[in-house]
Amino acid sequence: MSYDGIAQTVSDRYARAAATGEQICCPTGYNFDDLRTFIPDEVLKISYGCGTPAGLETVRIGETVLDIGSGGGIDCFEASRRVGPTGRVIGIDMTDTMLDIARRHAPVVAANLGYETSNVEFRKGMAESMPVEDDSADLIISNCVINLAPDKRKVFHEMNRVLRPGGRFTISDIVSDQPVPQYFVHDTEKWGNCLSGALRVSDYVGGMVEAGFLGIHQVKFTQWQVIDGIHFLSITLTGYKLPEAMEHNNGLFATLLGPFSRATDESGQSYRRGIPQPVHGRTAHLLSALPYQSLFLVSETPVTLEPSDPRWLAILPEQKPCVWKGDYALFTGPFTEVEDDDDHLYQRGIPLEICSKTLKVLETDAYRPHFAMINRATAEISGTQVACSPSGGCC
């Protein structure tokens, strides 16, 4: 399919859904009882997505929020409530039917919120070429839309262009654990179903890093469906656009606390647990953001930790046999790769088969936020127990 053909297919599909009330199958997490207090039902019933953008929880009064693929306007209207009357919200969509509905209800929502005028503007445009000024948004949100764009690399570069230095994005989308085959890519129906355009997690995040974003990490994930052995996941990711001109202060140090024994960030800098690493001001700024705060100690003098220090965090597997059950771990950031205390190397977005003991380790509170788990077994597993090494190391 050509680029224009894909775009027209997707636009037609969502226009038809808006006109007929057709439900497009994606997992969602809206609190409609709350939203119904200020958003009309006509908007709510055509709200499609794969997760309520968690980034709206970080919005501050007066900020500018950009929504890529705003549809009927639900996320823009929620953003409007959160930024307050002094803030600004821009919604972009390529479907006229959706834009008509959103624009018609913008004054109604403003009145329901007690605003004199609406602070939401809806513009027609494509995600790959957004009609938005450079460095103009504090936060970018998108809800199961970038998946539908044929050229996601262009979308990520456009996001970096329009985001202010110091800004961030939080987007929900459908991704896969392995490459989508060509018979999916050329299936017009599957494009509208958020399947044909799904990228592997590694490729999706890699495109963001290539566009200039840092600190990309998972906010949440949900297993959606398995088709022809391909696992499709709904994942919400956050990342940052750091200011380029920051003081390169070489007097700061970062000490990795754990649970990882080693971690490598997106600039290639490696950290080992307990060993202070000199960092410049830009890196220190990033390490002050979520989710790094719980992983590092940043100080003006080097701080070395010993295993006896209560800040040292290591989680070892149980001293007992394990079983292979078809489980795979998908590391989702904020580093490019990490190691655990059994020397498992996890590369961001690449599934790694793990045994039952490692699964239990990764399900602990310290590890869980950094992984998405899938199971590729197609039948009940009756595998025998495997004896691990006497030292407690895993298989």
Q: What is the distance between the alpha carbons of residues 271 and 194, in angstroms, rounded to a whole number?
A: 37
Would you state the pLDDT for residue 187?
Answer: 75
Residue 110 above 60 pLDDT? yes
Number of neighbouring beta carbons within 10 Å of residue 61: 10
Q: What percent of the chain has pLDDT over 90?
A: 69
Q: Can you tell me which residue has the tokens 């788990």?
A: 373
Q: Which of 11-20, 22-31, 171-180, 336-345 has the lowest mean pLDDT?
A: 11-20
Residue whose C-alpha is closest to residue 66's, from 55, 52, 58, 76: 76
Q: Which of 6-15, 20-29, 65-74, 319-328 has the lowest mean pLDDT?
A: 6-15
Q: What is the distance between the alpha carbons of residues 260 and 242, in angstroms, rounded to a whole number?
A: 25
Q: What type of residue sits at position 377?
A: A
Would you state the pLDDT for residue 382?
Answer: 65
Residue whose C-alpha is closest to residue 141's, from 46, 78, 65: 65
Mean pLDDT of 336-351: 97
Mean pLDDT of 145-150: 88
Residue 163: which residues within 8 A CB-CB, separation 6 or more? 66, 135, 137, 138, 140, 169, 241
246-314 and 319-395: same fold?
A: yes
Mean pLDDT of 79-102: 96
Q: What type of residue sits at position 371?
A: F
Would you state the pLDDT for residue 122?
Answer: 98
Residue 126, Cβ density class (10 Å: 0-12 exposed, 13-18 middle, ≥19 buried): buried
Q: What is the distance between the alpha carbons of residues 334 and 354, in angstroms, rounded to a whole number?
A: 20
Residue 114, Cβ density class (10 Å: 0-12 exposed, 13-18 middle, ≥19 buried): exposed
Q: What type of residue sits at position 251?
A: G
Residue 191 above 60 pLDDT? no
Q: If you average pLDDT over every residue of the chain, what do you get?
A: 88
Q: Domain 246-314 carries which CATH code?
A: 3.40.5.100
Domain 3-240, classified CATH 3.40.50.150, yes or no: yes
Q: Can you tell me which residue has the tokens 């006229």?
A: 96
Mean pLDDT of 166-171: 95
Residue 391 pLDDT grade (very low, low, confident, very high; cuts 50, 70, 90): very low
Fold adopted by 319-395? Ribosomal Protein L9; domain 1 (3.40.5)
Would you state the pLDDT for residue 193?
Answer: 67
Number of neighbouring beta carbons within 10 Å of residue 41: 10
Element (H, E) at 255: strand 252-256
Q: Which residue has better confidence, 189 or 57?
A: 57
List pLDDT tens digits, range 197-211.
889 999 999 999 999
Number of neighbouring beta carbons within 10 Å of residue 332: 25
Q: Are 173 and 241 in contact (CB under 8 A)?
A: no
Residue 144 above 90 pLDDT? no
Q: Are 286 and 295 in contact (CB under 8 A)?
A: no
Residue 15 above 50 pLDDT? no
Q: Which of 43-47, 65-69, 282-286 has the lowest mean pLDDT?
A: 43-47
Residue whose C-alpha is closest to residue 367's, from 258, 233, 238: 258
Would you state the pLDDT for residue 26?
Answer: 60
Q: What is the distance between the alpha carbons of residues 137 and 160, in angstroms, rounded to a whole number?
A: 10
3-state secondary structure 172-235: EEEEECCCCCHHHHCCHHHHHCCCCCCCEHHHHHHHHHHCCCEEEEEEEEEEEEEECCEEEEEE
Residue 50 pLDDT grade (very low, low, confident, very high; cuts 50, 70, 90): low
Fill in the DSSP letter of residue 273. Answer: B
Number of neighbouring beta carbons within 10 Å of residue 151: 16
Residue whose C-alpha is closest to residue 96's, from 121, 125, 120: 125
Mean pLDDT of 181-205: 81
Q: What is the distance between the alpha carbons of residues 295 and 288, in angstroms, rounded to a whole number?
A: 10
Residue 214 above 70 pLDDT? yes
Q: What is the distance between the alpha carbons of residues 101 and 18, in angstroms, rounded to a whole number?
A: 9
Q: Are 62 and 84 in contact (CB under 8 A)?
A: yes
Q: What is the distance between the alpha carbons of residues 194 and 147, in angstroms, rounded to a whole number?
A: 6
Q: What is the distance between the alpha carbons of residues 130 and 31, in angstroms, rounded to a whole number?
A: 29
The structural domains of the chain, with segments of one domain joined by +, span 3-240, 246-314, 319-395
Would you state the pLDDT for residue 18?
Answer: 45
Residue 11 above 50 pLDDT? no
Question: Could you give the 3-state DSSP secondary structure of residue 42?
Answer: helix
Rg (alpha carbons) of the chain, rounded to whole number = 22
Would you state the pLDDT for residue 190?
Answer: 64
